Structure formats: C-alpha cells, structure tokens
Amino acid sequence: MKESDLWKRIRDCPKNVNAKMERIETSTALGVPDLYACIEGVSAWVELKALEETPTGKYNLSLRKYLLTQRIWLKTHSLAGGSSFLCVGIGRKIYWLKPPYALTIVKFTEDEIKRRAIATGPQLPF
C-alpha cells in the first residue's frame, strides 16, 4: 500500500461522510502531519505511514520515513492538549496509534502494532 492509497481509503470510508478532511502537503513547516480532520467539532491531526508488504510476527519492520521532526510535532501537539494519531497501513490493514506509543515506534512487528493500536480500519477513531 502506498501512502496515497492509505489516504484514499480513509477519505472514502462511508462512516466518515460527515467529516471535514484535508490532506496537507507542506515543505515549509517541518513535521506537520499529512492529514487534518474534524468530525462534529472534534479535530485531530494524522500522520500517515504505509508499508507495501504485510510482515510476519518474526520480522521487524521499519518506518524509515517516520522522521524525528514528525514525532516531535505529534509529541508537542499532544502535550498542548491536541489530538493526534499515527495511522499505519500494512498491506490492506490499517492501524491507529496515539501518543505516547506513536512517538517511539520505528521498528516493530505487525503483532506489536495490533496490541498497541487503539483502532483498526479506515474509519477515523474519534
């Protein structure tokens, strides 16, 4: 799955029809997440990360492009009381993680992601 495919699955989820979602592409502000969403007055920022292959529990996967600036942005936003998520697409599966775990994950197994995810699937978890 590519990050653009992950975005399309979230955007097109029927349960998200009343959501305001904007894909953010910026090179001026380091670490700003990929997606801003608001549902019934509740807003959140989402960092999207997609992996092409589904891992087995035996092998570690690496989010090589999950940059320190992105983790810092999620941390400071969370500390300020904001809501933010790391959305990880692995194959056709989607996992939603919140800080603090979303801040430290770089290498993992899919089993570990499953245990720590607060939600699964394309629907926004708030």
The CATH code of the domain at 3-120 is 3.40.1350.10
Taking the C-alpha atoms of residue 43 and residue 75, their distance in angstroms, rounded to an integer, is: 16
pLDDT of residue 18: 78
Q: How far apart are CA 116 and CA 119, in angstroms?
A: 9
What are the pLDDT digits (tens) for 13-33? 867 667 889 999 877 788 999
DSSP-derived 3-state class of residue 7: helix
Question: How does pLDDT run across 64-102, given as a tens digit for each residue?
Answer: 778 888 988 998 999 999 999 999 888 888 999 988 777
Amino acid found at 31? G
* Residue-wise pLDDT tens digits, 27-63: 778 899 999 999 888 899 999 988 866 556 554 566 7
Exposure b/e, 43-79, CB count within 10 A at least 16 = b = ebbbbbbbbeeebeeeeebebeebeeebbebbbebbe
Asked whether 58 and 109 are in contact (CB, 8 A), the reply is yes
Mean pLDDT of the chain: 83
